[in-house]
C-alpha cells in the first residue's frame, strides 16, 4: 500500500507552475526522456502533490498539545495563521530558488550521473514547490472574510521570485561552478531535512501530511550530495579532479554559515513550538545540524585517508583523521591541509546572536583581535578573502554582508529563518 495519496492543484496554478518550469527549468524534459536509463526501478517523476499520513491525529507540541490538529487554515487565529503562512511561503521559496541556482551550473557536471542527479533534484524541488502550492490552494479557508486572499497573494508572489528575491539568504546566492551544486545538496538540503522532520508535527494537518513524501525525496538529494562530495574530494587527493581540497574547503566555508542561519536566531523558535508547528527550537535544531555536518565531513575525510594509504580500514582511517585534526600534525603522510573541516558556528555570520553576527571570528571560532579589541572590518574582510572562494566575494549576498560589516547598512533584525 502506498504511503501517500496524490492530488493535483487547480488548473490555474498547475498551469502556472508548468509555465514556471518551462521558463526556469526547460531541461526537465531531458530527465523525463532519460529517466528509465538511470532510475529504472523507480516510479518516473510526476508533478503532483503527495499526501502522506499523520503520525498522530492530535497536536504533539505547544499550547494546544493533545487537541485535534487543524484541518482548515481558517481555524488558526491571529498570529498563528500568518506565521503558518510565512513558513509555507519560506518553504516554497527555497524549493523554487534552488532550481534557479542549480540550473546556472548544471551543464558543468563532471559526469552524466551527476548531471542526471541534479536534474532529478531540481524536479523534486519543483514538486516540493507544487506541494506547498497544494497546501495553499486546496484549502479555501486561507481566504477569510475581510482579509486579503492570502493564498492567492502568496502563490502569485512566489511565481515571480528571482534569485535575489527569495526569503532566505542561502537561496539568493548564484552558483558559479559545479562544486556549488554538490556542496549545496550536501549542506543546504540537509537544513531542509531538519525543517521537514520538525514540521512532521505541524498542528495544521495538511502541512504535516506533506512532510513524509518530501522527506523521502530529500534523502536522494542529500545522498547524492554526499556521494559526489566524496568523489570530488578523492579527485582532489589524486590530483585527477577539477577542484582542489582548498577549493572544496573554501566552498564549505561559504555555504555552512548560510545553512546555520537558515534555522533563524539561535534563541528563537519558541513561538513555532508553542503553535505546534515544530518540535524543537532554532538553537537545538541548529546545533544538531552542525554536529551532523561534522559527521558527514569526517566520512569524506575517511575516504581521503583511504585514498592516500592503501589497504587501511575505515576505523583506522578515522583515527588518523582525528589525530591529524586534533594535533595539527602530519600522521602517516596525511597533513591537516589534506583534509576538510567544518568551520566553527561563529565564523562568517551575518545573522544570529548579537555576539556572533558580524563579529570577526576565524574559521576555528577564535575572535580575531588587535590591541585587545576585535579587528577592524577591513582586516576581517581581508582575512575572509583568503578563506572563502573568490567568486563568492563578487556576489550580491557578499556585498550585503560587506555593507553590514562596515556599518553602512545593518541587516534587518527580527525573523530571518524559517
Ligand atoms: Fe525540497
Ligand atoms: Fe532538496
Distance 352 CA to ligand 2 centre (A): 24
3-state helix, strand, coil in the chain (%, to 5): 60, 5, 35
With vertex at residue 398, the alpha carbon angle to CA 396 and CA 400, rounded to the nearest 5 degrees, is 70
Alpha helix (H) residue ranges in 238-346: 245-261, 270-274, 282-308, 314-327
The ligand with the least distance to the CA atom of 91 is 1
CA of 66 to the centre of ligand 2 (A): 32
Residues 6+ apart with CB under 8 A from 202: 69, 208, 211, 276, 277, 278
Ligand closest to Cα of 210 equals 1
Please give the chain's pLDDT, 418 residues, in tens. 578 999 999 999 999 999 999 999 999 999 999 999 999 999 999 999 999 999 999 999 999 999 999 999 999 988 999 999 999 999 999 999 999 999 999 999 999 999 999 999 999 999 999 999 999 999 999 998 778 899 999 999 999 999 999 999 999 999 999 999 999 999 999 999 999 999 999 999 999 999 999 999 999 999 999 999 999 999 999 999 999 999 999 999 999 999 999 999 999 999 999 999 999 999 999 999 999 999 999 999 999 999 999 999 999 999 999 999 999 999 999 999 999 999 999 999 999 998 999 999 999 999 999 999 999 999 999 999 999 999 999 999 999 999 999 987 666 655 567 7
Which ligand is located closest to the Cα atom of residue 195?
1
Ligand approaching nearest to the C-alpha of 120: 2
Query: DSSP per residue over 97-115, as a string?
Result: HHHHHHHHHGGG-SSHHHH
Surrounding ion ligand 2 within 5 Å at CB are 189, 218, 221
- Take residue 182 and report the three cell numbers written for it: 554538490
CB-based contacts of 293, cutoff 8 Å, min separation 6 = 187, 190, 256, 259, 342
Beta-carbon contacts of 20 under 8 Å, excluding residues fewer than 6 positions away, are: 96, 159
Residue 80 CA to ligand 2 centre (angstroms): 26
CA–chain centroid gap for 155, Å, is 21
Name the phi and psi angles at 130, rounded to 5.
-60, -40
Query: Which listed ligand is nearest to 219 at the C-alpha?
Result: 2
Contacts of 150 (CB under 8 A, 6+ apart): 82, 85, 136, 142, 143, 144
Pairing of strands 5-7, 49-51: antiparallel
The rounded Å distance from CA 406 to ligand 2 centre is: 34
What is residue 149's DSSP assignment? -
CA 322 to chain centre: 27
Count other Cβ atoms within 10 Å, centred on residue 5: 11
Cα 183 to middle of ligand 2, angstroms: 12
pTM of the predicted model over 0.75: yes
Q: What is the grid cell recorded at 149? A: 486572499
Amino acid at each position: 500500500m502506498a504511503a501517500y495519496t496524490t492530488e493535483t492543484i487547480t488548473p490555474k496554478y498547475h498551469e502556472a507552475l508548468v509555465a514556471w518550469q518551462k521558463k526556469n527549468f526547460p531541461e526537465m524534459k531531458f530527465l523525463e526522456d532519460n529517466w528509465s536509463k538511470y532510475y529504472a526501478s523507480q516510479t518516473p517523476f510526476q508533478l503532483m502533490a503527495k499526501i502522506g499520513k499523520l503520525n498522530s491525529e492530535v497536536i504533539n507540541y505547544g499550547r494546544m498539545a493533545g487537541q485535534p490538529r487543524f484541518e482548515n487554515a481558517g481555524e488558526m487565529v491571529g498570529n498563528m495563521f500568518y506565521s503558518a503562512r510565512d513558513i509555507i511561503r519560506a518553504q516554497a521559496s527555497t524549493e523554487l530558488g534552488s532550481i534557479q541556482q542549480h540550473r546556472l551550473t548544471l551543464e558543468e557536471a563532471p559526469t552524466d550521473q551527476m548531471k542526471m542527479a541534479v536534474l532529478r533534484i531540481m524536479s523534486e524541488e519543483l514538486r516540493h514547490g507544487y506541494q506547498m502550492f497544494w497546501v495553499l490552494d486546496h484549502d479555501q479557508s486561507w481566504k477569510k472574510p475581510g482579509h486579503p486572499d492570502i493564498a492567492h497573494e502568496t502563490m502569485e508572489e512566489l511565481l515571480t521570485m528571482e534569485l535575489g528575491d527569495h526569503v532566505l539568504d542561502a537561496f539568493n546566492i548564484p552558483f558559479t561552478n559545479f562544486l556549488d551544486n554538490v556542496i549545496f545538496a550536501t549542506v543546504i538540503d540537509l537544513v531542509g531535512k531538519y525543517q521537514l522532520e520538525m514540521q512532521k508535527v505541524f498542528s495544521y494537518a495538511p502541512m504535516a501530511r506533506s512532510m513524509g513524501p518530501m522527506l523521502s525525496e530529500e534523502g536522494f538529494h542529500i545522498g547524492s550530495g554526499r556521494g559526489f562530495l566524496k568523489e570530488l574530494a578523492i579527485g582532489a587527493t589524486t590530483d585527477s579532479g577539477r577542484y582542489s581540497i582548498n577549493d572544496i574547503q573554501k566552498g564549505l566555508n561559504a555555504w555552512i554559515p548560510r545553512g546555520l542561519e537558515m534555522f533563524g536566531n539561535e534563541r528563537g523558535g519558541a513561538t513555532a513550538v508553542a503553535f505546534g508547528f515544530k518540535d524543537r527550537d532554532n538553537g537545538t535544531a541548529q546545533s544538531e545540524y552542525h554536529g551532523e555536518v561534522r559527521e558527514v565531513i569526517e566520512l569524506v575525510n575517511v575516504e581521503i585517508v583511504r585514498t592516500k594509504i592503501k589497504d587501511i580500514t575505515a576505523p583506522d582511517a578515522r583515527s588518523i583523521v582525528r589525530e591529524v585534526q586534533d594535533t595539527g600534525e602530519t600522521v602517516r603522510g596525511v597533513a591537516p591541509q589534506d583534509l576538510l573541516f567544518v568551520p566553527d558556528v561563529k565564523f562568517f555570520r551575518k545573522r544570529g546572536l548579537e555576539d556572533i553576527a558580524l563579529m570577526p571570528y576565524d574559521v576555528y571560532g577564535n575572535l580575531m583581535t588587535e590591541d585587545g579589541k576585535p579587528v577592524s572590518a577591513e582586516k576581517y574582510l581581508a582575512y575572509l578573502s583568503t578563506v572563502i572562494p573568490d567568486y563568492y566575494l563578487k556576489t550580491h549576498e557578499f556585498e550585503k554582508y560587506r555593507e553590514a560589516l562596515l556599518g553602512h547598512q545593518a541587516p534587518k533584525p527580527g525573523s530571518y529563518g524559517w
